[in-house]
Amino acid sequence: MRLRISFEGDNLQPKPNKHAVQGFIYNMLKGTEYGKRHDEPRFKFFTFSDFFRDGDGRLTLLISSPEGGFIEALYSNIRGRDHVYIGKHQLKPVEIRMFKLPLRKRFQTGSPVVIYKNAQNNEYFKLHAHRDLRFFIERLKENAERKYNAFYNDEFVLDSPIFDRLIPKLRSNGKLDVYVRVIKNGVSFPVIGSNWELLEKERIKPEERRFYRFIMDAGLGEKNSLGFGFLNPIRR
């Protein structure tokens, strides 16, 4: 399930930092059954898109989760508010709605996908530098299976590559990797990922539909709750 929020505000530059957006989401969950999600030592099972401008020029954010109750709790706590704070930004929610999207075989990213090359050394996989697409796909699959099985208490294993066709999105400078600066408690650190024009699974079997619906809402790769790995299903 997804939540779309469009905001108005006097000062929207620079756009709110990803850690600030994460803090806003946790703050909007206070007083609900998901109010302690931040402190739970497990996958958080939500992600959010990069900010974008809607057709009316309003700053817009999408939040997704495989837990319908999670999205409903956010919707109930944000709806009707005159303003909210995202970091230092005071914003007015002018449109908010919940919706579901049909499962497709093709996706594109709404925020960079992050994979660790070496988690112990905090080393991110760099598509431009490491050039090992097989490693990238295998790690995506392993990560998605772990999250799915934790969510459903299952032992599901996908018996084929997670995607059959991948087209990366080139930056204006010709680079593939995206460096996102995250600020937490006044400390700045980079998170490295990549955006994708197309992630395609040629055939999704009936027994795989729940898995792909899960990753469509939970996100791909690492650091989903910091707003990485957001997926949008696309038509041909």
CA atoms of 51 and 68, how far apart (whole Å): 22
187 Cβ contact partners less than 8 Å away, ≥ 6 residues apart: none
- In the block, tokens 């400390």 appear at 187
CA 43-74-17 angle, to 5 degrees, is 70
Quote the Cα angle for 106-111-113, to 5°. 75
- Set 19, 34, 38, 179: catalytic member: 38
The two structure tokens encoding residue 80: 């009707």
**Residue 174 CB neighbour total at 10 angstroms:** 7
Q: In the structure encoding, which two tokens stand for residue 206, read together?
A: 């009936």
Q: Which of 26, 116, 128, 130 is catalytic?
A: 26
Q: Is 26 a catalytic residue?
A: yes
Q: With the CA atoms of 36, 37, 42 and 47 taken in that order, what torsion angle do they form, in degrees rounded to the nearest 10?
A: -170
Question: Known catalytic residue: 38?
Answer: yes
Among all chains, which residue has been given the structure tokens 């459903």? 152
Q: What positions carry a catalytic annotation?
A: 26, 38
